[in-house]
C-alpha cells in the first residue's frame, strides 16, 4: 500500500507518519511506500523499511499536484493548509492554498483516473461553523463560517462530497475539534491558551489564562486526531453514504474543568502556575466559537476521542513528557 500525506511536516502529519510506521500497515495491508509532501521538506522518517519519497512542493500548482498523484497513492491524507490566522491576514494565499490547492489535488486525481480506488481523507475543522450557535452543534447544523479559513474548509468539504458522489475519489472529510494539548512552544493563536495552561505548568513554567474559567470548548488530543485519520481510512463507501463530512467527537469541558483535571493529576503546585490575566479581545473571539459538538454520526461510525479531560492530559504526559511532570 502506497500512502501520500500532504502537510507531512506539520504536527499532525509527523505524528500520523510515526503511527503508520509503528503499525506497519493500514486497513490490514502492509505499507510499501510513503510519500511525504509539504511546503518545507518533511523530516525523513526513521524505522520504515519501505520506500520513502520526500517532496518539497506547493500543491496549489496544478503541475505539482499532477506529479504528486502520478505515483498512484492508494490512500491520501490531505492535511496541508494555511492556518486560520494566516488565511485571514493573506486573502490570496489562503484561497490559493486551501481552496485551489485542495481542488487541484482533486482534479489531478480525477484526471489520473484512480476513481473510487483512491481513498482521500480531508482534514476539515470546526471553523466551518459560525456563531450564533445552539448549546450543542448537531450533525445537521448548517455551515456559516466567520473566517476565510472556515469558508475554504467548507468549500473543500463540498468538493470532496461531489467528487465522491461522482465516483472520482473515495472521500472522507473529518472536522477536527481544537487539538489539545498541542505540543511545542506557546504561539499567538487566540486558542493557544487552551493548551498552554496545561503544557507550561507541567514543565515548570507559568501560563496565562486570558478568559473566565466558565468558557466551554470541545477538545481532542493529538493522539485522537491521528486516530480519527486512521479510522477514516477504514470506512467503506456503504457505511459512510453520501454525507461524507463528519464532525469528530471530543471532550466538551470548561476551562475550570481543565484546571481541575490538571490539579487532580499533577497537584496544586502545578495548577498554581496558571496566572489569570483577563483579555477582553481573546474572550470575545473565543465567545464566537462552538462550545459543544454533538459528533453523533462519527461516534456511530466508530470514531473515538477521549471522554474526559483527564484522559487528554494523561495522553499528553505519556506522549510528550515520557510520563514526567515538573512537580
Residues taking part in catalysis: 149
- Smallest CA-to-CA distance from 244 within 152, 172, 169 is with 172
- CB 267, CB 196: distance < 8 Å: no
State which residue, 139 or 260, has the beta carbon closest to its own copies. Answer: 139
Closest distance of CB 223 from its own copies, Å:
29
Distance CA 242, CA 90 (A): 33
Closest distance of CB 160 from its own copies, Å:
10
Closest distance of CB 154 from its own copies, Å:
5
Cell numbers of 112, please?
A: 489520473
Distance CA 45, CA 55 (A): 13
* Element holding 151 (H helix, E strand): helix 148-165
State which residue, 209 or 286, has the beta carbon closest to its own copies. Answer: 286
Residues in touch with its own copies (CB under 8 A): 91, 130, 134, 139-146, 148, 151, 154-155, 158-159, 161-162, 165-166, 242-243
Closest distance of CB 148 from its own copies, Å:
6
DSSP per residue, 92-126? HHHIIIIIIHHHHHHHHHHHHT-GGGSEEEEEEEG
State which residue, 207 or 246, has the beta carbon closest to its own copies. Answer: 246
Q: What angle do CA 317, 26, 180 make, to 5 degrees?
A: 25
State which residue, 27 or 144, has the beta carbon closest to its own copies. Answer: 144
Amino acid at each position: 500500500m502506497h500512502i501520500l500525506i500532504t502537510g507531512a511536516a506539520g504536527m499532525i502529519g509527523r505524528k500520523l507518519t510515526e503511527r503508520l510506521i509503528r503499525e506497519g500497515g493500514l486497513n490490514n495491508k502492509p505499507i510499501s511506500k510513503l510519500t511525504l509532501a509539504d511546503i518545507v521538506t518533511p523530516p525523513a522518517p526513521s524505522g520504515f523499511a519501505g520506500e520513502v519519497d520526500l517532496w518539497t512542493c506547493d500543491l496549489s500548482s496544478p503541475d505539482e499536484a499532477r506529479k504528486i498523484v502520478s505515483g498512484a497513492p492508494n490512500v491520501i491524507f490531505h492535511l496541508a493548509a494555511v492556518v486560520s490566522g494566516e488565511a485571514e491576514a493573506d486573502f490570496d494565499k489562503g484561497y490559493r492554498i486551501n481552496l485551489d490547492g485542495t481542488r487541484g489535488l482533486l482534479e489531478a486525481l480525477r484526471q489520473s483516473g484512480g476513481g473510487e480506488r483512491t481513498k482521500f481523507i480531508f482534514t476539515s475543522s470546526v471553523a466551518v461553523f459560525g456563531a450564533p450557535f445552539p448549546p450543542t452543534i448537531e450533525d445537521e447544523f448548517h455551515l456559516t463560517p466567520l473566517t476565510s479559513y472556515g469558508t475554504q474548509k467548507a468549500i473543500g468539504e463540498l468538493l470532496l462530497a461531489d467528487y465522491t458522489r461522482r465516483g472520482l475519489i473515495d472521500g472522507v472529510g473529518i472536522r477536527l475539534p481544537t487539538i489539545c494539548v498541542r505540543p511545542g512552544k506557546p504561539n499567538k493563536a487566540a486558542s493557544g491558551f487552551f493548551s498552554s495552561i496545561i503544557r507550561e505548568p507541567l514543565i515548570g513554567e507559568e501560563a496565562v489564562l486570558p478568559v473566565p474559567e466558565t468558557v466551554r470548548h470541545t477538545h481532542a488530543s493529538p493522539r485522537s486526531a491521528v486516530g480519527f485519520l486512521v479510522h477514516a481510512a477504514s470506512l467503506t463507501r456503504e457505511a459512510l453514504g453520501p454525507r461524507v463530512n463528519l464532525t469528530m467527537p471530543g471532550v466538551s469541558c470548561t476551562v475550570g474543568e481543565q484546571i481541575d483535571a490538571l490539579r487532580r493529576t499533577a497537584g496544586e503546585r502545578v495548577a498554581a502556575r496558571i496566572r489569570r490575566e483577563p483579555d477582553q479581545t481573546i474572550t470575545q473571539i473565543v465567545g464566537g466559537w462552538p462550545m459543544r459538538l454533538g459528533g453523533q454520526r462519527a461516534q456511530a461510525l466508530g470514531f473515538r476521542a477521549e471522554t474526559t479531560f483527564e484522559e487528554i492530559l494523561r495522553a499528553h504526559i505519556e506522549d510528550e513528557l515520557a510520563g514526567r511532570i515538573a512537580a
